[in-house]
A = this chain, B = another copy of it.
Amino acid sequence: MIRIGIVDDKASNRNIIKDKLERTGMFIASLIASDGSDFLHKLRYVHATERPEVVLMDLEMPNMDGVAAIAAGSSLYPEIKFVVLTIYDDEEKIFKAIKAGAYGYLLKDESGPQIADMLWQMCESGAGPISPGIAHKILQLVQKNQLTMVNHHKATVQESFFDLSDREQEILKLLVQGFLYKEIGAQLNISPNTAKKHVINIYQKLHVNSKAQAIKLAYDKGML
């Protein structure tokens, strides 16, 4: 039996969720609150043995919203897994909730059994439950460069993608600027023929067959 906390400002929501989860026989709602402030207050006065292992948290709530509650709660009780359960799927809310320390993010339009199942999976595998649509949005955030990895790979991207030599990368950069072969040759003090030869080699490595495609690829994959 897994102890669950439910935080939602709508009484009907609380009851529906409680019902659906308890009916599976795998969960018991050990703490129910109507907003973030209420939740933290109740959590303080509950015995550690009664503390929920998982908290389902709505986002939009009076007094203290879900993001703030997760931020405070995950800091005070790091062992509790906070899972957002909401109707909102916009990028900003997702992002903020995750940064606040959310362990999972579920949408209310998932069916009851599905939510129960995902929570159970979480307890089994340790992987935070995430609704498919949300996962997709996060992935797109990463993709669109709205998220960038700061620490690690400092984005000499083409190096990791394609196996271009230094010279070839140099020439690709000029190509993308829109220079002609003769101009590239002039800038690098090589024959236009050689410049062209390099470009053809680059095309083969990139599997493209025109300047336009090469430029598009370079821009798309961020080899500026």
Q: Classify the interface of chain A: helix, strand, loop or mixed.
A: helix
Q: Is the CB of B151 within 8 A of A149?
A: no
Interface size grouping (class) on chain A:
35 or more
CB-defined contacts of A157 to chain B, threshold 8 Å: 99
- Is the CB–CB distance between A162 and B71 below 8 Å? yes
Interface: A190 (CB within 8 A): no
Q: Is the CB of B127 within 8 A of A208?
A: no
0/1 string, A80-114, CB within 8 A of B gives 1: 00000000000010011011111111000000000
Chain B interface: which of A13-21, A54-62, A134-142? A134-142
* Complex CA distance for A161 and B100, rounded to whole angstroms: 8
Residue A139 contacts which of B41, B130, B152, B212 (CB distance < 8 angstroms)? B130
Does A220 lie at the interface of the complex (its beta carbon under 8 Å from any beta carbon of B)?
yes
Is there an interface contact between A145 and B135, defined as CB atoms closer than 8 Å? no
Q: How far is the CA of A153 from the CA of B162 in the complex (A)?
A: 33
> Smallest CB–CB gap between A151 and chain B, Å?
6
Q: Show the binding face of A for B, using Cβ within 8 Å.
A: 37, 40-41, 44, 67-68, 71-72, 74-76, 92, 95-96, 98-105, 118, 121, 125-130, 132-133, 135-136, 138-139, 141-143, 145-153, 157, 160-163, 175-180, 206-208, 210-213, 215-217, 219-222
Contacts of A180 in B (CB 8 A): 210
Asked if residues A99 and B216 are in contact (CB atoms below 8 Å), the reply is no
Contacts of A126 in B (CB 8 A): 136
Q: Are B213 and A67 closer than 8 Å at their CB atoms?
A: no
Residue picked from A71, A103, A105, A118, most chain B C-beta under 10 Å:
A71
Establish whether residues A130 and B141, one from each chain, have CB atoms under 8 Å apart when the complex forms: no
| Shortest distance from the beta carbon of A129 to any chain B beta carbon, whole Å | 7
